[in-house]
């Protein structure tokens, strides 16, 4: 009798662990994705402000290329197409200050 309860309890605990892992792993992946996105936004904001400081007003294409190379060199993005919209929105936000 004792052996059956132990076996049933172990099976229930194993099922609970599987359910918890099945729920937590996707949640963790989503959170890490969000963390990466937040990190990328901080790098873009920093890059845009630094480019403005380095190159002054005007020379938008040169500043954009500089920020894109900064992001690519650090492995934050794979291509310029991935971040063009974020970069442009950050430039717009900076101009509104």
Residue-wise pLDDT for 51-74, tens only, equals: 999 998 888 889 999 999 999 999
C-beta separation of 87 from 68 below 8 A: yes
pLDDT beyond 80 at 24: no
What's the mean per-residue pLDDT of the chain?
A: 80
Domain limits, the chain: 2-96
- Quote the radius of gyration of the chain (alpha carbons, Å): 24
**Structure pTM?**
0.66
Q: In the chain, what is the straight-line distance between the N-terminal and C-terminal CA atoms, in Å?
A: 74
Q: Is 87 exposed, middle or buried (0-12, 13-18, 19+ CB in 10 A)?
A: buried
């Amino acid at each position: 009798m004792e052996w059956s309860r132990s076996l049933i309890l172990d099976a229930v605990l194993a099922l609970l662990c599987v359910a918890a892992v099945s729920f937590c792993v996707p949640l963790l992946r989503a959170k890490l994705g969000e963390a990466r996105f937040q990190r990328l936004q901080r790098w873009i904001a920093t890059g845009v402000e630094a480019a403005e400081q380095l190159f002054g007003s005007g020379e938008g294409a040169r500043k954009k290329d500089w920020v894109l190379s900064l992001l690519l060199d650090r492995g934050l993005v794979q291509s310029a197409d991935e971040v063009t919209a974020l970069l442009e929105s950050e430039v717009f936000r900076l101009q509104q200050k």
